[in-house]
Every structure is written in structure tokens, then in C-alpha cells.
Structure 1
Amino acid sequence: MAATVLNMAFNQCSRRVQPLRRAYFSGCGGIAAAAAAARSACTRSPNFSGRICSSYREISTEIFEPAQSGRASGSDLHTFDVVVVGAGIIGLTIARQFLLGSNLSVALVDAAVPCAGATGAGQGYIWRVNKSPGSHKWELAVRSHGLWEALAESVRNEGLDPLQTLGWKKTGSLLVGKTSEDCADLKKSVDKLVDFGVSAVYLNRDDLLAEEPALKLGDAHGAAFVPGDFQIDAKRTVAYIEKGNRKFAAEGRYVEFYYEPVTSLLRDESSGEVVAVQTKKNMIRGKKAVIIATGCWTGSVMDQLLKDSEIDLDFPVKPRKGHLLVLDNDNTVELNHALMESGYLNHASAAGVSAASDSDATSISMTATLDPMGRLVLGSSRQLVGFDTEVDETIVQRIWDRAGDFFPALKEVSLQDMIDNRKVRVGLRPYMPGGAPKIGPVPGFPKMFVVAGHEGEGLTLALGSAEMIFDMTLGNTPRVDAEPFSM
């Protein structure tokens, strides 16, 4: 309320409050002190009528000048067409979509820096083999898959190598079953993928062994195989997208506000429209949209931003912790494709994790691939343990042991002996009950949108999600049905 009073006071007292405006937005004195000073300044104005104007949008537009550099200068007040809060792969690709697809200006705001959340901790699978054709996410996943392929092609057209630039590798995807029941389900999945136009095949034990000789296989083993699936390196891809976004800074169309947590919203009191976000350093106005894309932190961010609202809105995203083990390979295991055991899909919901036999509700499933540097990347774990990001060595050991069940060469090596040649990635996936992200307007808050809850599919669904919110914001004909993702 104090922030609203302050902004309304600005509307009446432009000249007298200019020094206060600079002090307030540089963090001096706090909201309450600044509001009191604004009232005092206004009561000394000959134009003060005893009340303060109620509309934020009436503030003089000349103070909303966009910064002209690629990073925020720390000065007080800025205006853009679109404000994106969250600089993970979702936020970055949303910013990119608006910059490339329109002439609108974009501010990207984050409490830290890109790749600080789940984005940088994953294996980078862009897969269809593990998707269910006809499901609510299928259309979005296929659209995103095609957009990623188009991005790789555009990198080639720039004269760059997609492998070096994006970590792009067309590895194909193998979903491996260990029992006859698993394999029966995989055969059905392959048939359905083919029906939906995907080039997919079922590999029996001998076929699978020919593709991946390093695997230890029993008679019941088999796999679903999609040769056209691929993987990317999240950090390389983020660096490329961020560099591309920054090219628009010289035009005054793009600014990054990093290390700036958003603390509050400002709304037009007559229309209810969300018109700006406040950070500890800056107020950033979004004329067309404010988009919240803060991953597993979206629930707490929304609670903070909407705490003074009369609208009760629950956004039940949860952080789901995951470990990956990255090892210098030295040809210990030779892989030709990226792999995942089919049991991984059984833990795709929180209910699946809770039903696990482990007392700590932790699931461990084999995933394996080689990164662009040839390192062996093994996973993966799932835990609902809040925002803990500490490495748990017992989980790391279990990942190693599970991988050894599939790759006997690993049984011949002690993980302790590899302590100097390994890294452990820990990330927090933004899990949403029901398994689908939320993409769309926030009910009761015009011009405010949310794009979050992609769990372990942020990279896979990023480009399609960015396109969806772009079309939604501008009123374009949607390319993918957005209804399954509405709040």
C-alpha cells in the first residue's frame, strides 16, 4: 500500500518529488519513509488538493526511459513493453521470442544469473521417445522439438558449428526396458509414435546390443528407439541465446537486471492491470505484459507478489531435487546414443516418488549420455526435499550402482578412485502436480502471465512455451492449444 501511495504522490508532485524519486529508487530510506516524505512534499505544493490521484498510469511518461546498455545501470525507473522475471531457459527463450518476433522492448529480471536454477544441471535431452502421443504435452513437445531443430539450422546458416555453439548432438534416444512387461509397453509406445508420424522402432535384445555393446542385457531386455532425437548442452545454449538477446541492447530494446529479486508489483488501481515490478534497485514498467518464469521458485514469488491482493491464488509448484554424476570417461564406457531406463517414467509424478520403496521417498533411475567434451553423464535422482541443493554422497553412490547394473564395466571401477575426475550437478526441477506446466494469464491480474512448472522438461519445452506465451500476449492465432496449460 505504501508503494501505491508513493506512486500516486508522484503523479501530483512531479517537480517537488524528483529528488525523493531518485533517493527512493536507489534504495534510500525504504518504502514507508519515502511515502511519508512524498506526502510531506505534496502538502507543500500549491496544487495539492488533499487527496492523491489513484492511477499509476498517469505518471509522466518521460521518466520511463529504457536503459540503452545491455545491463541495467542501477538507476531508478525504466519502461519496456515486456518484463520477463526469471532468466532460466524459459525466461531467456521468452525474451528471445519477443525480440526476434516483434519490435517490442524486453527487460529480463533475475535474482541471480542465467542457468542458476535447474537449467544448467540437466542432461539436455530433447526427446520424443519418452512422450505420450496424444497427451496434453505431446503437441507442445513436438512443436518445441521442431523449433530446436530450426534453431540448430539457423546456427549452421551463421557459419557456426551447432555442436560447438549449442552442444547439439543428434544422439537418438533409447528407452530401455528390463522386463517382459516393460518391453510390451515399449512396443505399444513405438506403435503409437509411428502412428503420430515419428520415425521410431522397437529393438529386441540383439538389436539393442548391436547399437550399444557396452550394455549388460538379459533375454527380456529391449528398447524403444527414436533416431531423430537429440541433446544440447544447456550452458552453451544459454550463452548463445543470451548473446543473441544482447544484440538488441544497442537499439534500446533489451536490458538485463541480474542480481535483482523482484519484491512487489504495482497495479493500476482503476483497471487492476499489473503495470510494473519493483526490485531492490529499480522499478521496471511493462506496458504490455509482465511474465513470471521463475521455475521452482514461482510459488514463493507469486505468494510474495500477491500477498496484499484480495484474490486467493495457489500456485503449487514444488522443487524436486536431482543429482547427476559427470565423469572423465577415458573410454570406460562407450556410448553411441543417449539412454534412459523405462522405469524413469514410472516416477514422473510426485505420487510415483512417494510410492517408491525408499523410506526417504527418493527414486534412482539410470540415464546415461556423453556430453560435448566426451564426459560420461550418469543420472538420475528425484527427491521432494524442499530447496536443499547440497550434494548427498549416498545418492551419488546409488546413481553409480544403478548405472553399474546396466554397464558392467563400471562395476570394475570404484567411484572413490574417480573422486578427482568427477563432478556432481545438483538442480531443482520445478514440479507441478498433474505433470503439465502452467502457461497463461494469471486470473484477476490483467497483463500478468506465468510460464512455469516444466519439471525436468524445461529444455525440451522451452521454445514452444516461449512461442505460446508470445502468441497469447499479442493475440496471435495459437500454434499449439494452450487450454491444457491454463491456470
Structure 2
Amino acid sequence: MAQFPDIAVVGAGIVGAACAEALSSAGLVVQVLDRHAPAAGTSAAGEGNVLVSDKPPGAELRLALASRERWPELVDALREELGGAADFEWDAKGGVVAATTVDDSVALEAFAAEQRAAGVDARILTPDEAFQLEPHLTRETALAVHYPQDAQVQPVLAASALLAAVRKRGGAVRKATASGVTRGAGGRVTGVRTDRGVLHCGAVVNACGPWSAEFSRACGAPIAIHPRRGVVLVTAPVPAGTVRHKVYDADYVGAVESGEADLQTSTVVESTRAGTVLIGSSRERIGFDDTIRTRVLREIARKAAALFPVLGRVPVMRAYGGFRPYAPDHLPVIGEDPRVPGLWHATGHEGAGVGLAAATGRLLADLLTGRAPQVDPAPFRADRPALLEESPSSSQPHPRGP
């Protein structure tokens, strides 16, 4: 580690990669550290959602809208810079949210109205209009909302492209286990400790995802980020057009916003370029327990077949799970930690990390370089009360962390 970078980013998932790309684009020399291969943790276990449809008006929605605007710009720019190395599988497919009961229809229509007032393109559909967009949707659909802004990206490919840009600009991506920071006069960060020695740098970015609490604690500035587990089913390939958009039921938004630790499931269905269908979703706070539970898989599959009856006849090839970085107040952490000058955080996005990554990287780079931020950073500050309340689940180390 002879090179002296301006910034060390700890964590090579989609958020860490986006931060590293934005910082290198601003002219800084960046090194990215991870104890495993890039995007091997949470990013590899995600569906690649770039959503505005599931967020109520507020700070996270503003960040999501900025990220949705930024993602295609980033895709085009890196394709021009990297050529064939920038394969994101970007798909601006749009989303459809379906309600099957009167109560859900009323709630969904009111939610969509609030989103429209906040700048989201949310179009109310009659059942017949919904069936034109999704012919295999359940005939129990009472009302639906079309969200043209929803999109999808392949998270491992996206992270790889972002990191390729960092390398091309003089940075590096290294396999190393970070265990804290070194500090100089005034307590300011002067480097990051690793199993390969100390990497001297001007600032360190904690982009460790579900393992951010462990790293932040080692740096002397603990934040309460907890692992929240989710499971996804993958079907055998289906005929083209079986599922045309990102489709989920009206219960999904409530599950996303809930802070309950117990298992919650809601139906999310979308196709991939390979022809398979990804089916979710589940949420539960069980620490770093990675056991695949049959009852969870059954509940996800049952609900998916209710929303898309055609999927009841499609075999499931595999299931995979991952841990998402959950913040108690459901907002990411983006910015410098006032307790340790030079320590920055970019974490706590839970299941929205892929979608929010582009704007997170830009916001962090704006703040670190002193540029005027495009998004108000105040709601994401690291010293807000919800993050400073430690709990036992935030102190559980896990060997797969960055």
C-alpha cells in the first residue's frame, strides 16, 4: 500500500463504489478496501431496484428522485469512458403497484396523490388499464398505479463498472480487512488500519453496509446500523412478456417503512434479462443468521402466485438471501461524523442502496469537496439521535463484512 490516496473507501458494494466513483470524478485519488471481492455482500443479494414508487414524501424520496435522474447520466458517461467495460443492464422498465381490496385501493390512491405533489410521476390505472400493462396480473386487481420512473440495474455489474472508472482515474481497489482508523492532531483521521498495515489518507468513508456499526465502533464513532435480512426466489425462465414491469402489491410500502423486527413479507415480482423472474420480498431482523427458512420461501411464493397466478405453474430454481443495512429511522447516513473529523459515513440504505447509490455518491463528494450539494444533507447527518442509540444487534460482528 505504497500509494498515498486522498480518500480510503471501506466497502466495495454498490454504495461504496458509487462514492468512490464520484470522489474520483471530483479529482481525488481513491482507494477502495474490502475483505472480499467487490459487490460480494449485500449488493450481490439484491434485485437492483431503482425505485421512487415505494417512498413517501420526504428526505429519502428527494434523494431517490435525484438518484433516478443521475443513474442514466452515469450509465451513459461511463459507457463513453470505459466502453465495453460498463455493462449495467440498465432497464427503465417502470413499475406497477396493484391493490386487490377496497381498503388497499383507497390507501394506494391517497399515497399516489401525495407522491405526485412531491414530484413523482404516479398514474392511476383502472383494472383494464392495468391488464394492458401486465396481462398476467390477477383479475382481483381493483386499482393500480403506474410509475414510469421506476427502473432496474444489475448491481454487481454496476459496481464493477463504477470501480473500473476509479481504477482508470488512478485509484485502486484492494483486498484488505479494515479494523479502524489512525488519528493525529486534534483527533483527525490520518489513515485506516488494515491487516496489510496502515493506509495513510486524508479521509475514510465507512461504506460497510450491514457491518457499518462494527467498523464505526472500531473508529470510535458508533452508529446504530443493524442487519435486516431479506430473501429472494429465482424462477426458471418464462416466456418474454410474462412480467413486463417491476410489480408489487400495495402492502409493500408498509413493509418497507415498518420498523418491526419480526418477519414481514409482501409481493414483489420482476423479470430479468435472462428470462428468469425474481420474487420477493421478506424482511426480518435476526442478526446475522443466514439460515434459509422454508416457511419464508413458501409465504413469498404463495403471495406471488396470488398476484401473478401464472407463476403458480413456474418452478423455482433457487433462493438467496442477504443482509441490508437498516437504520432505526429509515434514513441513510451520509456525511462526516463530527465526533471523528475525517471519518465519513455512506450507509444505512437498507433495501434501497442500489437505487440511492448514484445520488449518495454525488452528495458525499459534494460535501467532502465543499461544493454546494444538490440534495439537502441535513436529514442524513451522522449525529442524529436515532443513530446514537446503540442496541445489542448493532454489535454483532460477522466474518463476511468489509
Provide the secondary structure at the position in 2 that maps to 1:240.
Answer: helix
Provide the secondary structure at the position in 1 that maps to 2:251.
Answer: helix
1:106-117 matches, cutoff 5 A: 106-117=30-41
User: C-alpha distance in 2, partners of 1:367/1:278?
Assistant: 41
User: C-alpha distance in 2, partners of 1:381/1:138?
Assistant: 22
Provide the secondary structure at the position in 2 that maps to 1:365.
Answer: strand
1:311-390 matches, cutoff 5 A: 313-331=221-239, 334-351=242-259, 353-354=260-261, 361-390=262-291
Q: Which runs of 4+ in 1 moved over 4 A?
A: 155-162
Provide the secondary structure at the position in 1 that maps to 2:5.
Answer: strand
2:197 to 273, 279, 282: 282
Query: Residues 262 and 407 (structure 1 numbering): CA distance in 2 closer, same or farther, change over 3 Å?
Result: same
The answer as to whether partners of 1:349 and 1:433 remain within 8 angstroms in 2 is: no
Query: Residues 224 and 161 (structure 1 numbering): CA distance in 2 closer, same or farther, change over 3 Å?
Result: farther
Equivalent in the alignment of 1:20: none
Aligned-pair CA distance for 1:156? 5.9
User: C-alpha distance in 2, partners of 1:149/1:216?
Assistant: 32
Q: Which runs of 5+ in 1 are unaligned?
A: 1-63, 67-78, 307-312, 355-360
Query: Can you list the C-alpha shifts for 1:40-61, whole angstroms capped at 9, x where unaligned?
Result: xxxxxxxxxxxxxxxxxxxxxx
The one-letter code sitting in structure 2 at the alignment partner of 1:398 is: E
Q: Check if 1:476 corresponds to 2:401.
A: no
If asked which structure has higher relative contact order (CA below 8 Å, sep 6+), I would say 2
The answer as to whether partners of 2:228 and 2:325 remain within 8 angstroms in 1 is: yes
The answer as to whether partners of 1:343 and 1:365 remain within 8 angstroms in 2 is: yes
Provide the secondary structure at the position in 2 that maps to 1:171.
Answer: coil
Q: TM-score, normalised by structure 1?
A: 0.74
Equivalent in the alignment of 1:25: none
Q: Check if 1:207 corresponds to 2:115.
A: no
User: C-alpha distance in 2, partners of 1:158/1:442?
Assistant: 33
Aligned-pair CA distance for 1:158? 6.2
Q: Which runs of 5+ in 2 are unaligned?
A: 383-402
Provide the secondary structure at the position in 2 that maps to 1:147.
Answer: helix
Q: Check if 1:217 corresponds to 2:133.
A: no
User: C-alpha distance in 2, partners of 1:333/1:399?
Assistant: 22
1:396 to 293, 297, 301: 297
Provide the secondary structure at the position in 2 that maps to 1:115.
Answer: coil
User: C-alpha distance in 2, partners of 1:372/1:244?
Assistant: 24
1:245 to 153, 160, 166: 166
Equivalent in the alignment of 2:24: 99
Aligned-pair CA distance for 1:154? 2.8
Q: TM-score, normalised by structure 2?
A: 0.89
User: C-alpha distance in 1, partners of 2:300/2:16?
Assistant: 31
Aligned-pair CA distance for 1:333? 7.8
Q: Check if 1:121 corresponds to 2:45.
A: yes
Aligned-pair CA distance for 1:425? 2.0
Aligned-pair CA distance for 1:145? 0.7
User: C-alpha distance in 2, partners of 1:437/1:427?
Assistant: 18
User: C-alpha distance in 2, partners of 1:394/1:332?
Assistant: 30
CA RMSD of aligned residues (A): 2.1
The answer as to whether partners of 2:240 and 2:275 remain within 8 angstroms in 1 is: no
Query: Residues 230 and 296 (structure 1 numbering): CA distance in 2 closer, same or farther, change over 3 Å?
Result: same
Which structure would you say has the larger Rg?
Answer: 1
2:330 to 435, 456, 463: 435
Equivalent in the alignment of 2:76: 153
The answer as to whether partners of 1:106 and 1:254 remain within 8 angstroms in 2 is: yes
Query: Can you list the C-alpha shifts for 1:407-466, whole angstroms capped at 9, x where unaligned?
Result: 2223345x5xx5xxx122211010000100111111221111111100011011111111
Equivalent in the alignment of 1:257: 174
1:485 to 380, 387, 402: 380
- Once the two structures are aligned, what percentage of the paired residues are identical? 27
